[in-house]
């Protein structure tokens, strides 16, 4: 089992704006929190007006979900599973390939809650994060949020990365920007897959998957 990170890092606070009550684009779901930050692409494009981080709870599974913009402007979609989940604490390579089947990209991220990372870019709970952290510090505890976050990035060969490769060749390469609605749908699908996997798990360690399994285009 992969150990949860223990190395402490420092982060630069990003310029950000907390957005008012926000409906996730293309859905009727109201986000628990939404932010704009300095990772927003400075070039005009279909990302204009989109938040850079959106957090919500998937109603069907109860899992916390976030989509967060990466440094080159593409989204990542992440799901937090509870500590009793059969994949909690495992790294991305240990996630069974069956979970990534049908997803646009395979699960490639696995980490504990980034409670020391600025809220507008962190992969962590938002609604209870600050209160939880304050309680931990008051008790002199340094433990992380107990959720384990699994996710994917939309930076594959068919994905348009806003601040990445020469956008003039994007159409020729067949690249498509994966917007907030797409990222929301992928996070929701991942949450369902993780929930279903845990429901039928017999407690056996997951089998390492090959790097090609579940690799969407």
What is the per-residue pLDDT across 63-108, written as a single tens digit (0 to 9) for each?
Answer: 999 999 999 999 999 999 999 999 999 999 999 999 999 999 999 9
Residue 217: how many CB atoms within 10 A of its CB? 9
Confidence of residue 125 (pLDDT cuts 50, 70, 90): confident
Q: Output the CA torsion 194→197→200→202 (10° steps).
A: -110
Q: Which of 30-34, 89-93, 163-167 has the lowest mean pLDDT?
A: 163-167
pTM reported for the whole predicted model: 0.80
Helices (H) and strands (E) in the chain, counts: 4, 7
Task: From residue 40, give the alpha-carbon distance in Å to each of 2, 50, 53.
Answer: 32, 9, 10
Which of these, 100, 50, 102, lies nearest to 79 by C-alpha position?
A: 100
**CB 16 within 8 Å of CB 32:** no
């Amino acid at each position: 089992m992969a150990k949860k990170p223990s190395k402490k890092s420092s982060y630069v606070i990003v310029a950000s704006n907390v957005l008012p009550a926000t409906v996730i684009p293309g859905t009727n779901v109201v986000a628990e929190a939404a932010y704009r930050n300095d990772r927003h692409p400075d070039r005009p494009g279909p990302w204009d007006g989109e938040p850079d981080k959106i957090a919500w709870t998937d109603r069907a599974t109860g899992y916390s979900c976030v989509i967060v913009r990466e440094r080159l402007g593409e989204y990542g979609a992440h799901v937090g599973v509870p500590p009793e989940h059969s994949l909690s604490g495992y790294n991305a390579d240990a996630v069974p390939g069956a979970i990534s089947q049908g997803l646009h990209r395979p699960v490639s991220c696995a980490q504990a809650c980034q409670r020391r990372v600025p809220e507008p870019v962190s992969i962590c709970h938002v609604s209870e994060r600050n209160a939880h952290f304050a309680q931990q510090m008051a008790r002199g505890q340094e433990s992380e949020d107990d959720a384990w976050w699994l996710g994917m990035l939309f930076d594959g060969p068919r994905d348009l990365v806003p601040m990445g490769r020469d956008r003039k060749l994007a159409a020729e390469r067949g690249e498509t920007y994966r917007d907030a609605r797409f990222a929301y749908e992928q996070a929701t699908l991942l949450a369902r897959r993780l929930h279903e996997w845990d429901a039928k798990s017999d407690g056996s360690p997951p089998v390492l998957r090959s790097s090609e399994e579940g690799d969407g285009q």
